């Protein structure tokens, strides 16, 4: 791949990339001669009061006592934005998503969160760069924004995100403002991240392709590319599936609601799920060993439901069952990509928050190795792969030959072919 050229613009420029994920979001940015900054991910959560005013957002929602304050004051928690059908395509999971505040639409919440991310970026840049005030004033009215989104989103969802960006005050609602906003699929962002961090070295031999799986919290995005001298070529139609890391929690909750239905601790299921998310879900790696969720004190006991000294004991096979739909989805999607790809594929790369799960990685690697597929994952940076990749997409834009996700046309009669179709 050719190295990046020197910036030749007449004035300073700032590029901001927002990855608004299902459960966590991240920001990356670039100045000329200053690639990007990595930092902590931010919870994609907003608490609203009864009047629809923002009371806590992002990192603020993780402060000690916020959950109790929200309960006491009747605040509504808005989360899982990508899974809501108004912007995404989550109708099949709508029953598992808590409702928004009555006065708020999905676009309103996206706009509020974009505004918060922009304020975070502004504060960070002005706090960490020399001549911060002059620097910010020179770029703030001409910032280029890149928003990432799942592979399956098309112009309808992009238009909705554009409206949210206008509502958030990121860009004006005119031609010049719209021109400052770009979109990148999570598949393309993952490719640029992998290439930028050297993860594709050795994974793509000449005339071969690679499958890139962005295993996020909401969706599993799967894309396949081959490397040319100057650019990458998409060699199979990209896919996305609602089987991200959050669905492990949904399956766990369903299990707890059934298993603890007649337990004195049935009212603690919300807390048990939160504890599961922070501990057991992250460290699970062996289905042969019992798993424990610490949620209470030593005085909390219910032997009939495997609760002793404030811990719920689960069999490893039960926890593995929570992961199984996602594991099967990744394996099936990778094999479908290889089957339909225009070039042979022998390697895959697993990135995204879910990629940090040893259970997912080991199960996927073990299964696909039987099909002569070698699966790799980065040692770090996985949580910010999409926002970092989005910046690199803006700078490099390697993908020149995408494969259409759908085809349409009409049957006609000719001496050459039976189908006249137009691919998009």
For residue 241, what are the CA distances in angstroms to 173, 220, 327, 405?
Answer: 32, 5, 12, 14
Write out pLDDT tens, residues 209-267.
Answer: 999 999 999 999 999 998 766 778 899 999 999 999 999 999 999 999 999 999 999 99
What phi, psi does 225 have (nearest 5°)? -140, 155
Domains, the chain, ordered by start: 14-186+387-399 (3.30.420.40), 203-377 (3.30.420.40)
- Confidence label for 31 from pLDDT (cuts 50, 70 and 90): low
- What pLDDT was estimated at residue 213? 96
Which one-letter DSSP state was computed for residue 385? H
- What pLDDT was estimated at residue 128? 83
Burial of 387 (0-12, 13-18, 19+ CB in 10 A): buried
Write out pLDDT tens, residues 138-196.
Answer: 889 999 999 999 888 888 899 999 999 999 999 999 999 999 999 999 999 999 888 88
Q: Are the beta carbons of 102 and 89 closer than 8 angstroms?
A: no
Strand partners, 214: 221, 351
Q: Of 396, 407, 393, 372, which Cα lies nearest the Cα of 7?
A: 396
- 234 three-class SS: strand
For residue 118, what are the CA distances in angstroms to 79, 132, 206, 222, 251?
Answer: 18, 16, 41, 29, 34
Burial of 218 (0-12, 13-18, 19+ CB in 10 A): buried
Sheet harboring 307-308: ordered strands across?
291-294, 311-314, 307-308
Look up residue 46 and give its two tokens: 């907003």
C-alpha atoms less than 13 angstroms from C-alpha of 13 in its C-beta half-sphere: 15
- 163 three-class SS: helix
Write out pLDDT tens, residues 65-122.
Answer: 998 999 999 999 999 887 765 455 454 555 667 788 888 999 999 999 999 999 999 9
Q: Are the beta carbons of 244 and 220 closer than 8 angstroms?
A: yes
| Cα distance between residue 316 and residue 293, in whole Å | 12
Q: Of 350, 379, 345, which Cα lies nearest the Cα of 363?
A: 350
Percent of the chain's residues with pLDDT above 90: 60
- For CA atoms 109, 330, 280, 378, give the dihedral sign: negative
For residue 229, what are the CA distances in angstroms to 166, 206, 208, 396, 399?
Answer: 38, 10, 13, 13, 12
CA R_g for the chain: 23
| Cα distance between residue 27 and residue 166, in whole Å | 18
Q: Of 20, 378, 41, 351, which Cα lies nearest the Cα of 184?
A: 20
Q: Are the beta carbons of 186 and 239 closer than 8 angstroms?
A: no
- What pLDDT was estimated at residue 415? 36
- 212 three-class SS: strand
- What pLDDT was estimated at residue 200? 77
Sequence-distant (6+) residues with CB within 8 A of 119 are: none
- With vertex at residue 69, the alpha carbon angle to CA 65 and CA 74, rounded to the nearest 5 degrees, is 155
Write out pLDDT tens, residues 379-420.
Answer: 765 678 899 899 989 888 765 545 545 444 443 333 333 322
Q: How many residues does the chain have?
A: 424
Strand partners, 312: 293, 307
């Amino acid at each position: 791949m050719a190295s990046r050229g020197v910036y030749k613009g007449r004035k300073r420029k700032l590029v901001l990339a927002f990855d608004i994920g299902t459960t966590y979001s991240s920001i990356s940015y670039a100045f000329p001669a200053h690639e990007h900054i990595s930092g902590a991910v931010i919870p994609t959560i907003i608490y609203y009061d009864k009047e629809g005013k923002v009371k806590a957002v992002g990192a603020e929602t993780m402060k000690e006592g916020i959950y109790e304050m929200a309960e006491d004051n009747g605040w509504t928690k808005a989360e899982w934005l990508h899974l809501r059908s108004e912007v995404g395509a989550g109708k099949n999971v709508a029953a598992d998503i808590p409702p928004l505040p009555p006065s708020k639409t999905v676009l309103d919440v996206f706009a509020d969160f974009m505004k918060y991310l922009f304020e975070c970026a502004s504060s960070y840049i002005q706090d960490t760069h020399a001549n911060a005030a002059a620097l910010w004033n020179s770029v703030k009215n001409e910032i280029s924004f890149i928003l990432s989104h799942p592979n399956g989103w098309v112009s309808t969802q992009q238009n909705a995100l554009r409206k949210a960006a206008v509502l958030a005050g990121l860009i004006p609602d005119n031609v010049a403002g719209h021109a400052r906003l770009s979109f990148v699929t999570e598949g393309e962002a993952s490719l640029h991240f992998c290439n930028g961090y050297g993860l594709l070295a050795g994974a793509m031999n000449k005339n071969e392709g690679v499958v890139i799986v962005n295993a996020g919290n909401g969706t599993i995005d799967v894309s396949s590319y081959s490397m040319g001298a100057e650019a990458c070529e998409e060699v199979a139609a990209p896919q996305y599936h609602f089987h991200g890391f959050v669905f492990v929690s949904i399956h766990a909750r369903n299990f707890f609601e059934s298993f603890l239905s007649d337990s004195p601790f049935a009212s603690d299921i919300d807390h048990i799920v939160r504890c599961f998310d922070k501990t057991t879900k992250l460290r699970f790696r062996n289905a042969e060993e019992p798993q424990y969720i610490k949620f209470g004190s030593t005085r909390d006991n219910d032997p009939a439901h495997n609760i002793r000294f404030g811990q719920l004991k689960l069999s490893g096979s039960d926890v593995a069952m929570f992961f199984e739909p996602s594991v099967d989805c990744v394996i099936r999607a990778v094999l479908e990509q290889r089957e339909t790809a225009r070039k042979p594929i022998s390697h895959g790369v697993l990135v995204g928050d879910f990629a940090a799960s040893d259970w997912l990685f080991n199960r996927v690697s073990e299964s696909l190795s039987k099909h002569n597929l070698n699966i790799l994952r980065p040692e770090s940076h996985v949580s910010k792969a999409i926002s970092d990749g989005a910046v690199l997409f803006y700078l490099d834009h390697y993908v020149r030959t995408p494969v259409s996700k759908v085809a349409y046309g009409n049957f006609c009669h000719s001496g050459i072919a039976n189908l006249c179709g137009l691919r998009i």
